[in-house]
Each structure stands twice: as C-alpha cells, then as structure tokens.
C-alpha cells in the first residue's frame, strides 16, 4: 500500500529545465543543498577536444567571482585568458575609450574561456553530485497546480519511464520550475508567458584568427556603421605567454551573411583586417566560422506561480557587449542565494520567494539589456549627427572619471553582483 503522504509529495523540490551554461550552473549552485533536484536537458552535452579555434565566451569579473563561489573557477583558470585592457573605437573616427585592469585595481577585467571548458567543468560536477539528470529528455507539456508544477517529459532513451520504448514519456512534479531553456524557451511558450522580440537583422560570424603579433591580453571592439567587430584575446591552448590567437566576432547585416560564409579564408581575413586595421600586425590564419542570428528577446516577468525564468529564457541579448551569459549567471546567483536563505521545511516555489527573485533581478536586467540595445542602435546608425555624438561619447567615456567608473562597473558586472559572491 502507498502512503498518502508519498502520493501527495511532489517528486522533486526543484526542476531545472535546460542544461546549457545557465541551467547547469544553477544545478551546480544548488547541488550541495538537501533539496531534491532534477535537471532536464534535451541534447547530449557536446564533447569536444581542445582546439586553437574553439568557441570562447568572455566572462566578466562578477562571473569569475560567482564561479569561484561555486568552486568551478579553479578548473576554468588554466584555459582562461585574462583580459588586461579593452580598447573601444569607431572606424573612421578619432574617439577611443580605454579601460585597463590596472586602473580598476584588478588582475583582469575579465577572462576569455572556451565554452568546452565551462561545460565540461559544470557537467563533471553534476555527474559527481546528487542532482538527478534526465538527458537527453525534452519537456513537452507543463501544468501548474497549487502545490506543484507537473512536467511531461519525453526521453530519447529508455531511462526515464517505459523501459521497452525508444522514446519514453513520463510525468514528474516539482515545487519550483526553473526554466533555463534558452531564447526560444519551450516552458515560456507552454505557459503562455509573453516575450518581446527585436530582430536586429544581423548575424554574428564567430571564428578565431592568428595574429602576426602577440595580443598582450588586450580586447578590441571596433564599431562600423554595418556592425561591430570584436577581437578578444585567447590563450595558446592553455599557454599565456606571447599568445597570438584571438576570438573574432564580426557582426554583419544578415544580407551580407552568405558572402561572408562563402568567402575564402584569405578573402575573409583581408576584409576583417581592413576593418580592424594593423594594431596587432597581420591576421595570418582563420579558424572555422559559425554564424548566429541576432535578436533581443525580453520575456515578461513570470507571473505564473512556481515558475522562474533564467538566462536566455528570461533575456537574450546582442553579443556586442559580451553580457548575455554574464547576466544569466547573476540570475543563477540571485535565485540560488534566495533558496539558500530558506529552510528545508519551506517551499522553494513559494510566491514570496519568486516575487523576491523578480525584484532582485529587475534593475540589473533592465540596465544591462537597455545598455546593450542602446549600443547596438547607436553604433549601427548612419545618421550624421549621431556620428559626432559617438566620437564625443567615446572621448567622454575615456576622459570623464565619473562616467568611466560607471561604464567600467557595468562592464565588470559589479552592479548586479549579489552579496556573498567571492571578492
């Protein structure tokens, strides 16, 4: 006979949908608690070998601190290239803005880290934890009841429910649903949570380049009227001395995408070099090119009981300021921090906890998404008056201490860093 208490208790305290960088980070942040946690991820995590042209992500100082608090940073550090300075300029203009770690009293403004290394460190930690991982498994339906959320899950492997089926379906319940299932969030769609989308009609082409001179840890952002080109320093496969490889993120109008992808390596390098100039010598070798369509997606704050949105499911940003994951990781730190304050007997899906989460994240979310959008629109605009404003804007950021400090703190992520993250 099954006890009625057992029938009534949800299967899990917390269900995390999406095991990308944000969902996996949340699972790691909660892994050592006594909550019963399940992580549901649709795709097998990719396993790739280190390569000179692998994709990287720029983590800011706030993210480094959060990963330190989670005990992940020591595994990332060997692959992380410290960004010692940034140089922001506009093609054809005299204004520049420069920031250095030394001025900010930091060892680095941020770190460029291979996605492979972050994913591997998080997933290894999950494998060694008590978090239940359902993967590959997809959430296909969600219903919300007074004391729980029910999730229908379809697994591609027979490990979730029906042992005889190649594609098994089951239902699980949890007190809190943390949706980290990306910009096209299925949870958002299934629950009717709205989102505003602004299609920038741009693509980012991401690749790596080798340079004829060492980059000395300096990151460059060069604006053009057709879109920004960023060059972010990389390690030479873990070695940091005299490194001459960088991530190249080139934003182009979507109508120029096929020409950019079809161009020979030589032609593409020549075009990028013309836009970037000769500060780092010649671009000598190009890695694989990957293209990403760019849109801003801002979800409504979830008013659905027991449901929180995090990372790209909550807000997906243009990569111009390299803020998307950094912001999502602060969502993780915020929610995990609030859950850490309650007792085992409390409800992690309680309305006051979720209202507290929305309130905690509102300012950071609107500041970073607004700032990023403003950068895209200001620097992609050909209006002549704006060109003057942009020159003087860059000069002002470079010279005015109050403005400089504010832009720097924004860049470092310090405005949105929850109390308690490592210093």
Ligand X SMILES: Cc1cc2nc3c(=O)[nH]c(=O)nc-3n(C[C@H](O)[C@H](O)[C@H](O)COP(=O)(O)OP(=O)(O)OC[C@H]3O[C@@H](n4cnc5c(N)ncnc54)[C@H](O)[C@@H]3O)c2cc1C
Of the candidates 10, 20, 114, 119, which one interacts with ligand X according to CB under 6 A? 20
Instruction: Please tell me whether residue 324 binds ligand X under the rule CB under 6 A.
Output: yes
194 CB-side CA count, 13 A:
2
Does 210 help bind ligand X (rule: CB under 6 A)?
Answer: no
Q: Kindly tell me which residue out of 13, 15, 18, 131 binds ligand X, with binding defined by CB under 6 A.
A: 18
Among 28, 142, 186, 269, binds ligand X (CB under 6 A): 186
- Among 202, 302, 323, 410, the residue binding ligand X under the rule CB under 6 A is 323
Closest distance between ligand X and the C-beta of residue 291, in Å? Answer: 9
Is the distance from CB of 165 to CB of 219 less than 8 angstroms?
no
Q: Are 204 and 290 in contact (CB under 8 A)?
A: no
H helical segments located in 14-168? 21-30, 61-69, 73-76, 101-104, 115-127
| Residue 292 binding ligand X, by CB under 6 A | yes
Beta bridge partners of 230: 221, 249
Under the binding rule (CB under 6 A), the answer on residue 23 touching ligand X is: yes
Looking at the Cβ atoms of 113 and 211, the one nearer to ligand X is 113
Whichever of 46 and 384 has its CB closer to ligand X, that residue is 46
Q: Does 207 help bind ligand X (rule: CB under 6 A)?
A: no
Contact status: 181 vs ligand X (CB under 6 A): yes
Residue 377: strand, helix, or coil:
helix
- With beta carbons less than 8 A apart as the criterion, state whether 216 and 84 touch: yes
Helix H segments across 140-264? 186-191, 257-262
Q: Least distance from C-beta 381 to ligand X, angstroms?
A: 21
Per CB under 6 A, contacts with ligand X among 40-69 are 40-43, 57-58
> By C-beta, is 42 or 174 nearer to ligand X?
42
Of 19, 119, 227, 416, which one interacts with ligand X (CB under 6 A)? Answer: 19
Contact 297, 195 (CB under 8 A): yes
Q: Which one of residues 16, 22, 172, 412 is an interface residue with ligand X (CB under 6 A)?
A: 22
Q: To the nearest whole angstrom, how small is the minimum distance from the Cβ of residue 55 to ligand X? A: 8
Q: Give the Cα separation of 161 and 171 in Å (integer).
A: 9
Tell me the C-alpha distance between 272 and 227, whole Å. Answer: 12
Cβ distance 330 to 413 under 8 Å? Answer: yes
CB atoms under 10 Å from CB of 399, counted, come to: 11
User: Could you tell me which of 126, 272, 144 has the C-alpha nearest to residue 208?
Assistant: 272
**Binding range to ligand X, per CB under 6 A, among 15-23, 83-91, 369-377, 415-423:** 15-23
CB of 85 to ligand X, least distance (A): 16
Which residues sit at the interface with ligand X, rule CB under 6 A? 17-23, 40-43, 57-58, 138-139, 180-182, 186, 204, 206, 249, 292, 311-312, 319, 322-326, 328
């Amino acid at each position: 006979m099954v006890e009625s208490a057992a029938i009534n208790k949800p299967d899990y305290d917390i269900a995390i949908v999406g095991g990308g960088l944000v969902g996996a980070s949340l699972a790691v942040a909660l892994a050592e608690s006594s909550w019963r946690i399940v992580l549901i991820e649709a795709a097998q995590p990719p396993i790739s070998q280190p390569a000179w042209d692998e994709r990287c992500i720029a983590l800011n100082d706030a993210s480094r601190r959060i990963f330190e608090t989670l005990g992940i940073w020591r595994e990332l550090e060997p692959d992380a290239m410290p960004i010692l300075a940034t140089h922001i300029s506009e093609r054809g203009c005299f204004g520049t803005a420069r920031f250095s770690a030394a001025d900010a009293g930091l060892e680095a403004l941020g770190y460029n880290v291979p996605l492979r290394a972050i994913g591997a460190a998080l997933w290894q930690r999950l494998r060694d934890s008590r978090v239940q991982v359902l993967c590959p498994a997809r959430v296909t339906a969600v219903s919300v009841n007074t004391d729980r959320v029910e999730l229908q899950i379809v697994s591609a492997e027979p490990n979730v429910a029906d042992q005889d089926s190649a594609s098994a379906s089951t239902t699980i319940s949890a007190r809190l649903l943390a949706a980290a299932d990306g910009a096209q969030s299925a949870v958002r769609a299934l629950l009717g949570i709205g989102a505003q989308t602004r299609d920038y009609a741009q693509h980012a082409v991401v690749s790596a380049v080798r340079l004829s001179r060492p980059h000395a840890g300096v990151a460059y952002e060069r604006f053009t009227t057709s879109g920004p080109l960023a060059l972010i320093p990389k390690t030479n496969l873990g070695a940091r001395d005299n490194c001459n490889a960088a991530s190249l993120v080139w934003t182009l109008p979507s109508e120029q995408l096929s020409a950019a992808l079809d161009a020979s390596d030589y032609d593409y390098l020549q075009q990028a070099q013309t836009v970037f100039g000769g500060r780092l010598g010649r671009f000598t070798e190009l890695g694989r090119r990957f293209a990403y369509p760019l849109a801003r997606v801002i979800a409504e704050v979830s008013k659905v009981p027991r449901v929180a949105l995090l990372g790209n499911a909550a807000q997906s940003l243009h990569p111009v300021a390299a803020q998307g994951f950094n912001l999502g990781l602060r969502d993780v730190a915020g929610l995990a921090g609030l859950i850490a304050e309650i007792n085992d007997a409390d409800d992690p899906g309680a309305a006051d906890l979720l209202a507290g989460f929305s309130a905690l994240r509102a300012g950071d979310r609107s500041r970073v998404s607004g700032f990023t959008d403003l950068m895209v629109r200001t620097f992609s605009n050909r209006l002549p008056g704006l060109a003057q404003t942009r020159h003087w804007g860059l000069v002002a950021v470079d010279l005015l201490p109050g403005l400089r400090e504010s832009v720097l703190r924004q860049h470092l992520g310090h405005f949105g860093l929850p109390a308690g993250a490592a210093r």
